[in-house]
Each structure stands twice: as C-alpha cells, then as structure tokens.
C-alpha cells in the first residue's frame, strides 16, 4: 500500500512560479496508467501553453478561479470545476484572481516529461478582463 501525504510531497517549482506536488506518479511509485499531482498557481500567473500526444488530463479546481484555454477556446473556471483536456489539445491556465489557485492534476497514462510539448514559449495569455 502506498500513501503519500501532501505535506511531505516533493515540491517542484515551475518557470511560471507555481508549485507542483507529485502525489502518486512515476517519481513516487511504479504507477503507469494514471497519476495525481497538486498545483498551486499564484495570482496573475499562467501555465505556459503546451500539449501532450499520449496523455489525457483532468484539472480539478479546489480553490480560486481563472481561465482555461484549450485549443483557443477560453472559459472561466473556479472551485468545484473539473476540466477534461484530451490528448493533442494545446492548453493553458491563467489565474486571473487575487488568490492562489489550487488544482488537482489527473493524468492518464501517468504523467511523463517526455510527453510534455511546449508551444510558443513567448506566448502571453492575458486574462479575459484585461
């Protein structure tokens, strides 16, 4: 049995200043078919636009609000919303609020850096209300 406590999970700091805590993934176990991580995205920051060829994702918003962009379609999301991101779809998340967003990231198969492809790294994704 594997139990991983969020408070003891490794913290990965991203270029967009979020913190990702892999809870159960390829770095914490021999899991292959799915993974779970938590991301805390600071106010005004955005997850850089990217896509996965093999991985489907679900973003479940625990706290905060922002804007999800999938293949150019932009929607306001907040606590309690679950967003399905099909493989191959370019996606980004913008925290347009004044509080940090907390997101659970579910991937299938388990997240792998080799399946993470960046789009235009100079892309700026301002919030809808700007």
Q: Residue 124: what pLDDT?
A: 41
Q: Residue 20: what pLDDT?
A: 96
Assigned CATH class of 32-118: mainly beta
**Has residue 127 got a pLDDT over 80?**
no
Positive/negative CA dihedral, 52, 54, 55, 56: positive
Q: Which positions ≥6 away from 11 have C-beta within 8 Å? A: 19, 20, 21
Domain ranges of the chain: 32-118
Half-sphere exposure at residue 39, Cβ-oriented, CA atoms within 13 angstroms: 23
Give 29-54 pLDDT, tens digit per residue. Answer: 999 999 999 999 999 999 999 999 99
Three-state DSSP state, 65: strand
For the entire predicted model, the pTM comes to 0.89
């Amino acid at each position: 049995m594997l139990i991983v406590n969020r408070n003891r999970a490794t913290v990965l700091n991203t270029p967009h200043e979020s913190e990702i805590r892999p809870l159960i993934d390829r770095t914490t176990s021999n899991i292959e078919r799915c993974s779970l991580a938590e991301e805390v995205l600071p106010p005004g920051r955005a997850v850089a636009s990217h896509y996965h060829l093999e991985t489907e994702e679900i973003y479940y918003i625990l706290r905060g609000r922002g804007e999800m962009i999938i293949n150019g379609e932009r929607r306001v999301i907040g606590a309690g919303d679950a967003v399905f991101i099909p493989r191959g779809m370019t996606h980004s998340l913008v925290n347009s609020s004044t509080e940090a967003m907390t997101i659970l990231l579910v991937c299938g198969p388990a997240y792998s850096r080799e399946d993470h492809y960046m789009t235009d790294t100079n892309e700026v994704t301002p919030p809808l209300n700007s």
